[in-house]
Chain A
């Protein structure tokens, strides 16, 4: 949901989620939608109402303020009114949606505080896990050898080889 054009999150999640067998849709203003996105194997929604009706999980992307200055959208106020993930929009969904956001959030722009802090939000867990996954990825890329790390050996007396 949101600025797909400038989002690394969208591009990496599309690859990862499709590989794991999920169906992926993207939604946002056409000014913030990269060309040919459908050819990556995702469906595209022009209106947030359609996306909410379709999805089980919404991953809401941060709208960077400079996008308005560069002329991709008229104003943050209108972005909230047209594409904001609000409680009212979610209440009209046919099922309960899980809410994600990679952070940092612009509350009142792409997402309502009530939604971000609501019972179906997994945003804090997502951010926490995101830190751990990034640490692990960087460790491996830097040549780390998990079999030598104490933490990877598990509890003392465990199954180390």
Chain B
């Protein structure tokens, strides 16, 4: 049994109970035992002075790629969850585009077991919609849910067939899980490597138009409306998508959406100099898109922030822009980027950011967590929101280094990450501090 843990004098922000005040949090037997002022410390308790820091429900990332099985050179469930713990995340959802694809109960069970073995951040597997993510035959949602899957997605690939998407949205309802879609109309996006716009024209690179995303956003919304199913739209990147989601939510369609820290803070200008660290899918868009995404996150049209953590080997990114893979390793920079750009930038309040990274993603995918209510599992993060630090990918716990934020000075990072009452960051061994 782990020792009781008393976090004294922090600014406790719990969006699930609209709480934002200086208090103590007592953790005992893996659960939140009490939240209040002047809490006594039980015998043998580990007492931490967290004055000046934020104490919040552990952050929850509904969209990460842990690369295991299949690409353990780039990331493993152990290294990815260590990176997540360092980033303040107490739970992540693992996308199924592994090798082999996570499209059956045995594969889902493997991820659950590897995560338990690592013993760090919780991992909720997402199963594939179709066998092999080929878009032809439905995977066994029921068996995957039985093994621990919390949603289905063919992420990395769009669901090209509207019939397949409809069937998935219908079939998923038996199990009460959302269908998450990577919205990209494949024939429009084919061969594109960055946002279709002036910068792509100047660089001579093939673009991916905003419409490639918006067509699928529109289609998925219509199919959710037809079937009554719940569609979760991954990594939204355009102002047009925001408008479609806003109207869908107004008429009561069951749609939730996420946005990444990089789409909230960078534009296609980051691709200048053919910088492959800025190559991601969906691509970085324009300033007007960034503004619309920020406003949508603020007013809840977009539910939550997700990192789309997509690790790649450094040498894979050291290639011509056309040849480099899409993706950003985002777990260890997500909170710092969001706090610096959105809270210090005056877009969100501290409580709103915590909500969009904990309570809201838990609600969107109907996961446990996102609350400091007494009795809840003790998934807690202590955030040092005054710490200024410079992003140095060499210090990442992730096996990969691909980030467009290298060299940036950020404010805010996780000082302590607790999963089920156990401190998982900082741990033993090298510290990123």
Contacts and interface: CB of A to CB of B under 8 A. Distances in A.
Q: Which of B131, B171, B227 has the most CB of A within 10 A?
A: B171
Given A71-B137, A71-B163, A71-B164, A30 B142 contact: no
B143 A29 contact: no
Interface in B120-140: 131, 136-140
A82 B142 contact: yes
A31 B142 contact: no
A72 B167 contact: yes
Interface string B130-171: 010000111111110010000000000000000110010011
Interface stretch (A6-14, A73-81, A145-153): A73-81
Interface string A52-77: 00000000000000000001111101
Given A78-B142, A78-B143, A81-B143, A71 B174 contact: no
A30 B167 CA distance: 8
A30 B173 contact: yes
Contact of B138 (A46, A71, A77): A71
Interface size class of B (residues with CB under 8 A): 20 to 34
Contact of A29 (B131, B170, B228): B170
A31 B171 contact: yes
A47 interface: yes
Contacts of B171: 29-31, 73-74
B141 A74 contact: yes
B137 A46 contact: no
B140 A75 contact: yes
B174 A30 contact: yes
Interface in B337-392: none
A38 to B, nearest CB: 12
A73 B140 CA distance: 8
B170 A31 contact: yes
Contacts of A74: 131, 137-141, 171
B251 to A, nearest CB: 18
Contacts of B140: 74-75, 77-78
Q: Which of A46, A71, A81 has the most CB of B within 10 A?
A: A71
Nearest to B143: A78
B136 to A, nearest CB: 8
A82 B174 contact: yes
A78 B173 CA distance: 15
Contacts of B227: 30
Nearest to B161: A71
Nearest to B171: A31
Nearest to B172: A30
B197 to A, nearest CB: 38
B161 to A, nearest CB: 9
9 contacts: A29-B171, A30-B173, A31-B170, A31-B171, A46-B174, A71-B163, A74-B131, A74-B139, A82-B142
Interface of A: 29-31, 33, 46-47, 71-75, 77-78, 81-82
Interface of B: 131, 136-143, 146, 163-164, 167, 170-171, 173-174, 227-229
